[in-house]
Amino acid sequence: MRTIDLIVVHCSATREDRRLPPESLNRIHRSRGFLCTGYHYYLLRDGGVVVTRPIALPGAHARGYNKNSIGICYEGGLDKLGRPSDTRTDMQRISLRNLVAGLLERFPHAKVCGHRDLPGVHKDCPCFDVKTDL
């Protein structure tokens, strides 16, 4: 098993009035040359959690940090006009907290951060402050 010392939260950069099903996310990532979806988990708007990549397989979600991290992505992150925004539903918030809590039980030394919190990242992703919210 890989050593996990980081859990990185992302958004899919999907407008809140649109949907991005897991199959479409997978197709987009495969078209970029990835083996499968780059994140390990994908949180749907209804709170459903989809395993999109085995934890044993390094992710393709945070360049320079994939070897020892787990990537979680929630569907959303843009308002209806396409601006960065925390569009998480109440169910996504609950699912995210539960998922992160479970992962921290399994990997107690892991740190949790947003994609934007990584050095050199110039994005708003995941469009909320992970450190204060989780």
Catalytic residue IDs: 10, 39, 115, 123, 125
Query: Quick one: CA dihedral 14, 11, 59, 118, positive or negative?
Result: positive
Q: What does the alpha-carbon distance between residue 66 and residue 64 come to, in Å, rounded to a whole number? A: 6
Q: What does the alpha-carbon distance between residue 130 and residue 82 come to, in Å, rounded to a whole number? A: 21
